[in-house]
């Protein structure tokens, strides 16, 4: 009887493993392909390399933001300040570049300062959440307001006289391939590294069960702090992409990226409760969000239905993911 019980449990865990082996992104990948297929059916040019490349350029900021957000969420937090952080990084970089007359060294310096500003913002978020134990949602909302304030202080309105060269740089080639392609490849590479690294495991441990991670001797606060800082690096990169695309210093850049990046993460199969998932899914999740918009446009759906479709698809995908993961979800962290 006992043995029988064991084998049942074993079979059940086999089924669960199929879904939970960190492969939740498979589903999002399929959805993404399906959307591309649908659009291509009505707009064959959509799948041409040139078009996809151009698309990638506009999607990359969200992909990067969602990628960064995944780290925070995996570690059991959330970051509602990524949108305004994008603006802060953007205006910082542009201001520094402008001060140097957009000379090549000043551009490099501007990018470095931008990342530094992003890292500082991420560090503040991380410090408040990890060390002061502030509740993440409301904390990052509050810091987000502050980032906007700082961005407006640095540059009250958009502009900055950024030269077209920056756009050429962003849309240009690097070692025979477009820069954005390299970035995406690097993201996949990094995901692999994360999966293979002890940091990835530790991050998931902290997000999955912080007290247990602490009792095991993991530096929980430091890991959570670094999750916010890593996020801020990707957010800075997202900000640079926006800068390359819009060649404008804009204190309102990145509006809406916070909630959209969270949606992308959820669509990518990462549990918002933390501990389960990974950044690859978020890449596909972000692509899905963008593709839904394109599908709506190319299918010629009336303007007034567009948002409805968008919402329905989002909720539908989440519900499907919920049903799937409900079947194999771990005991939620705190049953109490």
Partner 1 sequence: MTLLSAQSIKKRFGGVTALSGADFDLRSGEVHVLLGSNGCGKSTLCKVISGVVRPDSGTVRVKDRLLEDITPRLSRERGVGVVYQELSLVPSLSVAQNILLGMEKVNGLGILRDTKNEEALEEIFSEFRDLFPRGFSLETMVHALTPDLQQLVEIMKVLARDPEILIFDEPTASLSKEQIDLFFGILDRLKAKEKGIIFISHKLEEIFRVGDRITIMRGGKHVGCSTISSITRDEIVHLMVGDIFQSEYRKSSPYRSGRELLGGRGLSGRSIREIDFSLGQGEILGLGGLQGQGQRAFLLTLFGVEPLHEGTLEREGRAVSLKSPKQAMRESLAYISGDRKKYGVFLIRSILENLFISRVILNTMPLFRRKTLKGSADSVIQDLGLVYDTLDRPVSTLSGGNQQKVIIGRWLLNNPAVILMDDPTKGVDVKTKKDLYELMERMCQAGCSVIWNSSDDQELLQNADRVLVFREGRVIRELSGKDLNESTLYRAALGVDDPAEEGR
Partner 2 sequence: MKQHIARVLDPTVLVFSLCLVLLAIGQIVSPGFAAPRQIINMLVVASFLGIVAAGQSLVVIGGKNGIDLSVGNLVTFGAIVGGAVMRQQDQRLMLALLAVLFFSFLVGLLNGTGVVFFGIPPLVMTLGMGIIVAATNRFITGGVPVGGASPLLRILVVGRIGGVPGILFWWILIAVLVLVLLHNSRYGMNLYALGSNETAAKLSGVSVVPMRIITFGLCSLLAGLAGFLYLGYLGSVYNITLGDKYTLASVVAVVVGGTALTGGVGGYRGVFFGAIMLQLLESLLITLRMEQFGRNITFGVVLLLLIFMYGRDKKLRM
Partner 3 sequence: AGRGEAKSEGFVIGVSNPWVGSEWRTQMVDRVQEVAQPYIREGFIKEVVVQSFDVPLEGQIDQIRNLISRGADVILVNPADANALNPVIREAVQRGIIVIATDTEVSSPDAINVAIDQAEWARISARWLVDKLGDQGKIVAINGISGHPANTARVRGYTEVFRDASGIEILNQVNADWDNALGQSTMQNLLATYPDINGVWVQDGMAEGALRAIRSAGRDDIYVTGEARVGYLNLWKETGIDGIGVANPPGCMASALEVAVQLLKGRELKDGVLSGPFGNTLYVPVPVVVTNLNFDTVYNEYKGYPDYYSVDGHITPAQAEQFFK
Q: Which residues bind partner 1 (CB under 8 A)?
A: 1-3, 5-7, 9-10, 12-14, 16-17, 20-21, 193, 196-199, 201-202, 204-205, 208-209, 211-219, 271, 275-276, 329-331, 333, 335-336
Based on CB atoms, which residue is closest to partner 2, 93 or 237?
93
3-state secondary structure of 133: coil
End-to-end CA distance of the chain: 32
Q: Is the Cβ–Cβ distance between 54 and 113 less than 8 Å?
A: no
Please, is 167 exposed, middle or buried when counting C-beta atoms within 10 Å of its C-beta (0-12, 13-18, 19+)? middle
Per partner kind, with CB cut-offs from 5 to 8 A, the member of partner 1, partner 2, partner 3, none near residue 19 is: none
Q: Is the Cβ–Cβ distance between 125 and 153 less than 8 Å?
A: no
- Indicate the angle between helix axes 257-267 and 82-99, nearest 10 degrees: 120
Q: Which residues pair with 177 in a beta bridge?
A: 174
State the residue for tokens 């560090």. 123
Determine, following the binding rule CB under 8 A, whether residue 324 of this chain makes contact with partner 3. no
Determine, following the binding rule CB under 8 A, whether residue 101 of this chain makes contact with partner 3. no
Per partner kind, with CB cut-offs from 5 to 8 A, the member of partner 2, partner 1, partner 3, none near residue 164 is: partner 3
CA-based nearest residue to 264, from 228, 289, 294, 291 = 289
Determine, following the binding rule CB under 8 A, whether residue 299 of this chain makes contact with partner 2. no
Based on CB atoms, which residue is closest to partner 1, 167 or 214?
214
Determine, following the binding rule CB under 8 A, whether residue 251 of this chain makes contact with partner 3. yes
State the residue for tokens 């659009």. 39
Determine, following the binding rule CB under 8 A, whether residue 78 of this chain makes contact with partner 2. yes
Contact window for partner 3 (CB under 8 A) among 2-10, 151-159, 278-286, 320-328: 151-159
The pair of structure tokens assigned to 153 is: 């202080």
Contact window for partner 3 (CB under 8 A) among 118-126, 178-186, 214-222, 289-297: 289-297
Contact window for partner 2 (CB under 8 A) among 1-9, 165-173, 185-193, 318-326: 318-326
* Count of positions (residues) in the chain: 336
Please, is 158 exposed, middle or buried when counting C-beta atoms within 10 Å of its C-beta (0-12, 13-18, 19+)? middle
Q: Applying CB under 8 A, what is the total number of residues that bind partner 3?
A: 40
Per partner kind, with CB cut-offs from 5 to 8 A, the member of partner 3, partner 2, partner 1, none near residue 9 is: partner 1
Q: Is the Cβ–Cβ distance between 257 and 65 less than 8 Å?
A: yes
- Rg, C-alpha atoms of the chain: 21
Contact window for partner 3 (CB under 8 A) among 1-9, 196-204, 222-230, 303-311: 303-311
Determine, following the binding rule CB under 8 A, whether residue 215 of this chain makes contact with partner 3. no
- Whole-number Å distance between alpha carbons of 41 and 63: 25
Determine, following the binding rule CB under 8 A, whether residue 245 of this chain makes contact with partner 3. yes
3-state secondary structure of 110: helix
CA-based nearest residue to 264, from 111, 59, 22, 120 = 59
The pair of structure tokens assigned to 116 is: 């530094």
Site for partner 3 in 11-70 (CB under 8 A): 43, 45-46, 51, 54-55, 58-59, 61
The site for partner 2 (CB under 8 A) is made up of 78, 80, 128, 132-135, 137-139, 141-146, 148-153, 156, 210-211, 214, 220, 259, 262-263, 266, 272-273, 303-312, 314-315, 318-319, 322-323, 325-326, 329, 335-336
The site for partner 3 (CB under 8 A) is made up of 43, 45-46, 51, 54-55, 58-59, 61, 152, 156-160, 162, 164, 167, 171, 242, 245-248, 250-257, 290, 293-294, 297-298, 303, 306-307
């Amino acid at each position: 009887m006992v043995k029988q019980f064991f084998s049942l449990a074993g079979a059940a865990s086999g089924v669960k493993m199929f879904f939970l082996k960190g492969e939740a992104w498979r589903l999002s990948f399929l959805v993404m392909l399906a959307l591309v297929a649908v659009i291509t059916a009505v707009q064959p040019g959509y799948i041409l390399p040139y078009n996809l490349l151009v698309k990638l350029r506009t999607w990359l900021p969200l992909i990067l933001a969602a990628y960064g957000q995944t780290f925070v969420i995996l570690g059991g937090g959330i970051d509602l300040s990524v949108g305004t952080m994008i603006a802060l990084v953007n205006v910082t970089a542009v201001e520094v570049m402008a001060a140097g007359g957009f000379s090549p060294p000043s551009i490099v310096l501007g990018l470095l300062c931008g990342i530094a500003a992003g890292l500082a913002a991420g560090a503040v978020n991380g410090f408040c959440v990890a060390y002061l134990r502030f509740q993440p949602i409301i904390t990052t909302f509050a810091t987000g307001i502050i980032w906007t304030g700082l961005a407006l202080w640095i540059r009250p309105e958009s502009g900055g006289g950024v030269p077209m060269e920056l756009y050429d740089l962003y849309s240009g080639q690097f070692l025979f391939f477009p820069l954005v392609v390299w970035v995406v490849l690097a993201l996949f590479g990094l995901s692999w590294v994360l999966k293979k690294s002890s940091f990835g495991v530790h991050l998931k441990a902290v997000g999955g069960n912080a007290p247990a991670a602490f009792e095991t001797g993991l530096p929980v606060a430091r890991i959570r702090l670094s999750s916010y800082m890593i996020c801020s690096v990707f957010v800075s990169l997202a900000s640079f992409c926006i800068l390359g695309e819009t060649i404008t210093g804009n204190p309102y850049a990145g509006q809406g990226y916070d909630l959209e990046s969270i949606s992308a993460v959820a669509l990518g199969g990462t549990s918002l409760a933390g501990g389960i998932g990974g950044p690859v899914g978020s890449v596909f999740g972000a692509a899905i969000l963008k593709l839904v918009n394109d599908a709506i446009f190319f299918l010629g759906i009336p303007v007034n239905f567009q948002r409805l479709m968008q919402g329905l698809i989002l909720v539908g995908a989440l519900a499907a993911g919920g049903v799937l993961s409900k079947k194999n979800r771990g005991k939620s962290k705190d049953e109490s």
